[in-house]
Amino acid sequence: MKGRLLSIVVLVALLLAGLSFTAEAQTCQPVYHVVKPGQNLTIIARYYGVTVQAIVNANNLWNPNLIYTGQRLIIPVNCQPVTPCTKIHVVKPGEYLKLIAARYGTTWQAIANLNSLSNPNLIYSGQRLKIPVACPTPSPEPTPTPTPTGPWTGKYWDNRFFSGNAKFTRSHKSVAFDWGTTGPKGIGGENYAVRFTRERYFDAGLYRFYAKVDDGVRVWIDGVKIIDEWHDSAPTMYTADRQLSAGKHSLQIDYYQHEGAAQVTFWPERIDSGAAWTGQYYNNTGLADPVVATGDYNSIDFNWGKNAPKSGVSADYFSARFTGVFHFVGGSYRFTATSDDGIRIWVDSKLIVNEWHVTSARTYTVDVDVAEGDHTVKIEYFEEKGDAVCELSWTQR
Ligand SMILES: [Ca+2]
Ligand SMILES: [Ca+2]
Ligand SMILES: [Ca+2]
């Protein structure tokens, strides 16, 4: 009789343990969201990783565009039944279930249940028991360190207010984006903000900073705000002029897109009289010393005809070298050169035009990818006789 009673108690205990375990395993708390000002269903759905339709269904919303601040929404988050995690314990001599349970911070009933022990008092040395343990929280996917591909750091928020943490960070060669209505990858086409930062060297001089955006933009140099156009807008160009000392300066561009199309392009340009090009002339066609004249120019746009380019230089059988450092925002550029007679052009160490021969005036066109940054452009030119022409220009494609 006593033995039977004990069996019943044990059985009830086992049943209870089983029931409570089952209940725990299935527990899935409903998630509620209280709508805050400015939030719409798209934002809320994205935040919880569910679809707008799922929220609409869960709340019987008749018009998904009509939600109000303070409204309490059920969020149908994915509710996975919890699978208990276990580890194996090998029973040692003298151990009993309660002792083992205490060691693992569980109950003997839970162990008995998990191992379908018909008699929890009957365990033996060497027996392998499954022990319910807390599941290790899955370590978050290691976020791959973005490979630095450029001097700009872009931090992207999926809201217009830089609120909360940035969704991701990317590096960029330049700030020149036309995202249209699709938006940056991983963000969507509307309601986002990007903060671009970098340091760069500037020669001393007067610079014009250009920002062409849809919608809002703010620009800082060394922490001083120089452009403040924080409003919705069709694509608009804003500029600000600043005198800079030689050295490194920090740049920050805050940008936001509300709705419709989106673009942001930023670049600086030196606008003071600091001549862009320096030139040296030689009285031979092979750039052989000595230099017989020099000149500073803002553009290479020479049509000397039958005249000499400068006093001290012959009208025929001369050569010249022009060099300048220019800032490129990065991308594909079309270089157009016209020459009578020969011309060679380099961007940094890359020879992009090599037409070192006698000719009447001819125009050469070449498309070159130029990374964002300062680049040295060098022209070598020679005139044999007759007319003399030397011109170079480029445009971003
Ligand atoms: Ca827009
Ligand atoms: Ca000539
Ligand atoms: Ca000629």
Give me ligand 3 centre to Cα 359, in Å: 7
In order, the DSSP letters of 85-126 are: EEEEEEPPTT--HHHHHHHHTS-HHHHHHHTT-S-TT---TT
Ligand nearest to the CA of 160: 1
Cα end-to-end distance, the chain, whole Å: 96
Give me ligand 3 centre to Cα 363, in Å: 14
Contacting residues for 94 by C-beta, under 8 A, at least 6 apart: 125
Give me ligand 2 centre to Cα 318, in Å: 8
Ligand nearest to the CA of 217: 1
Give me ligand 3 centre to Cα 386, in Å: 4
The two tokens of residue 313 are 């230089």
Give me ligand 2 centre to Cα 394, in Å: 26
Give me ligand 2 centre to Cα 332, in Å: 34
Give me ligand 3 centre to Cα 281, in Å: 16
ω into residue 341 within 30 of 0, thus cis?
A: yes
Give me ligand 1 centre to Cα 88, in Å: 59
Which domains occur in the chain, in start order? 152-270 (2.60.120.260), 277-396 (2.60.120.260)
Residue 369's alpha-carbon distances to 56, 149, 212, 395, in angstroms, are: 49, 15, 22, 12
Tens digit of pLDDT per residue, the chain (397 long)?
445 544 444 444 444 443 333 333 334 466 788 888 778 888 888 777 778 888 888 887 777 777 888 888 888 776 554 456 788 888 988 888 888 888 888 888 888 888 888 888 888 889 999 888 776 665 555 544 445 567 899 999 999 999 999 999 999 888 999 999 999 999 999 999 999 999 988 877 788 999 999 999 999 999 989 999 999 999 999 999 988 877 789 999 999 999 999 999 999 887 776 667 889 999 999 999 999 999 988 789 999 999 999 999 999 999 999 998 887 778 899 999 999 999 999 999 999 999 999 999 999 999 999 988 788 999 999 999 999 999 999 887 8
- Residues with a beta carbon under 5 angstroms from ion ligand 3: 340-341, 386
Give me ligand 3 centre to Cα 101, in Å: 99
Give me ligand 3 centre to Cα 362, in Å: 11
Give me ligand 2 centre to Cα 6, in Å: 119
Ligand nearest to the CA of 316: 2
Give me ligand 1 centre to Cα 262, in Å: 5
